[in-house]
Each structure stands twice: as structure tokens, then as C-alpha cells.
Structure 1
Amino acid sequence: MTVTAYSPAQKSLHWLIALLIVGLYLLTFGEEFYERGHPMRATIWWLHISFGLLLLGLVLARLGLRLVRGIPALPPTMTPAERGASHLVHLGLYALMLAVPLIGVVLTWLRGDTLTFFGLFSIPSPVAADRTLGRSVKEIHELAANLILALAALHMAAALWHHLVRRDGVLGRMLPDRQADRETGLAD
């Protein structure tokens, strides 16, 4: 059987991860509404860290599914350059989706804070607080987050171009389509 679309689980993870990335990015702007020392700033960062850890877990699950289920082949009409660009963008997105939360973990610990996941568990910092190094790591974290958004925008533009101009079904492989999922045997 030839796989023509991602599984419903892969699709769900794709869209949930996309929403989490945008939500995490927007959440960081929430602290600007509160003065330093305001309890809401701490809540915003607690949520940012917790959702960042959730993102890391979902990306790992998505990578696992990708290894187990595979991915649909790209359309034969795509040129070798397009295929190469697609692979590079996906590789960059996965690398950044793993790196940004991991850098965030390091940043949290360099600030001397305990890593917590929605209050369900906590991991105290295994390293001494180092605010100077923390500032540098924060810049790397922010740069990597901006790179994710730039690559995601490129990814989205390419998907729309394939859908609206090329009409080759690339975007359709990731869109919810219960009938197509049943016909290809991908319904979970």
C-alpha cells in the first residue's frame, strides 16, 4: 500500500505543534504588560516553560511516529531542487523544534530556577545560577525561536504555493480529511 497522506495522529500532532509554537511565541509578549516583580510575569514564564516542555514531548512523539509510520512520497512533479529544499526546511524545523525547548531548559537552570511541568513535576537546577551566561543563552533561545517562525512561514508559503499554484496535493496530505484517511487505510 502506498501512503498518500499522513496518519490522523501525525496530522493532529503537526497542527497542535504549530499552534503551540505560535502560542509560546505570543505568550512571551505577555510579560510586557506587567512590571518586574509582578506575580503575573512569573505565571507567564511558568506557563511558557510548561508549554515548552509539552512542545518537546509532542515533537519527540511526532518524530517517533514519523519513524514508525513513515511519510508520504513527494509528488513526482517536484524537481530535485524542490525536493532538496523541502528536506532542508523539514530538517531545520525539526532541529529547531528540539533545540529551542532544550535551550529553554538550560536557560531556566542558568537563571537558578526549578524546571516545572504544570506543577506535576519539578527538576531543580543541576548547575549553579549564572546570570551572565544566562543572558547569552537567552539570546540564542530567542534567535532560534525567531528562526522557527521564519522557517515555518517558508514552509507554509511553500505548502500554499503547492496547493494554489501547482495543485499537486502536497498540502492535502496534511489536511484533515476523514474520507481520504478511510480510503487509504490511515484512519486510527
Structure 2
Amino acid sequence: MNLSYTSSQKAIHWVVFVLVIGLYVLTYLADIFPRASPGRAFVWWFHVSFGLLLFALVVMRVGLRLTLGTPGLPQEMSELERWVAKIAHLMLYALLVAIPVLGILLTWYRGDALSFFGLFTIPAPVSADSATARTIRELHSLCANLILILAGLHAAAALWHHYVRRDDVLKRMLPGTSGS
């Protein structure tokens, strides 16, 4: 049984990982600049653009998952481990969809258009509403914090499988490996 993901699935996985971390860092980088400053606006422009890229990659990743499925899990994994892995992946996917959707809604409810690196712009289809924007911002931030926690647990589990269980769970997603 093939336990490895395709090279495209692996590439998207790692690019999504880098984007999630990078987007989180950009939120703190924006705080270096005063409100309404060009520097802060520039950082948020990057945040929105990379957030849209994240959303596109997540859509591609979900499409690949639905088309190609997932490799089987090692037989040594207990039913509880399999169940926890499925729930964790479902939660990661839900957050990876929710965070950019909330970010898009936040941008629009702030009264701003979405710009993807200046290549195209999508005007806000809703009127600016600061109360709604505040609520969405809180949900967006909560989900961003949750994904970092869950991704950390996900990484810890992969490392545990690799170094303690000594199985091929981590190798399934490493570039240049084929699992068993």
C-alpha cells in the first residue's frame, strides 16, 4: 500500500505551511507602523494578497484530496489514533478555509477592496460596517491562533511518529520521500 502523498500535494502542504506562518508574522509586522501610515497599509496589502494566495492553494489542495484521496495510514496505528488524525485534519482544513474567508469578509466590511498583488481588485460588495468588521476580526484572529495551536500539535504528532514510533507517517509528506 502506498503511504505517500503526490509531489503536488506535498508542495502545496509546505507552501500552505509557510504562508500560514508568514501571514501570522505580517500581522505583527503591521504593528510596527502607526495606524493609517503607508508602511502599515503596505504590510496589510501583502497580508491580503498572500491570504488570497493561501485561499487559492487551499481550494487546490481540497480538490486534490477529493480527486486523489489520501494514502492509507500504517496498520500499526490504533483506531483511536486514526480517529484523532481524521478529526485533526478535518479541523485544519476547516480553519484553512475559514481564515481566508473571514479575512475577505473583514476586508470588505472595513470598506476596502481586495487586491491580489495589484494584479486585480475585487471591490467590496457590502457597505462598510465597523461593528461587523470588529466581530469578524475577532473571529479571524481566534481562528488564526487556533490553527497555530493545531498545526503545532500536528507537527508534534508527526515528529512523535518519526522519532518515537519510528513509522513512516512523517515521510508521507516530506519532499523526496515515498513512505512505505
Q: TM-score, normalised by structure 2?
A: 0.97
1:1-188 paired onto structure 2 within 5 Å: 2-177=1-176, 180=178
- CA–CA separation in structure 2 for the residues paired with 1:176 and 1:36: 41
**What per-residue deviation string (whole Å, max 9, x for no partner) do you get for residues 66-110 of structure 1?**
122221101111111111100000000000000000000000000
Which secondary structure does the structure 2 equivalent of 1:3 belong to?
A: coil
2:108 corresponds to which letter in structure 1?
Answer: W
CA drift of 1:3 comes to: 2.3
2:19 corresponds to which letter in structure 1?
Answer: L
**What per-residue deviation string (whole Å, max 9, x for no partner) do you get for residues 131-181 of structure 1?**
111111100000000011011001000000000000110001111126x48
- CA–CA separation in structure 2 for the residues paired with 1:31 and 1:20: 16
- CA–CA separation in structure 2 for the residues paired with 1:177 and 1:45: 35
The count of residues paired between Structure 1 and Structure 2 equals 180
RMSD over aligned Cα atoms? 1.3
Which ranges of 4 or more aligned residues in structure 1 deviate by more than 3 Å?
none
Asked if the contact 1:3/1:71 (under 8 Å) is kept, the reply is no
- CA–CA separation in structure 2 for the residues paired with 1:3 and 1:65: 16
Asked if the contact 1:27/1:44 (under 8 Å) is kept, the reply is yes
- CA–CA separation in structure 1 for the residues paired with 2:150 and 2:107: 25
Where does the alignment leave 5 or more consecutive residues of structure 2 unmatched? none
Which secondary structure does the structure 2 equivalent of 1:112 belong to?
A: coil
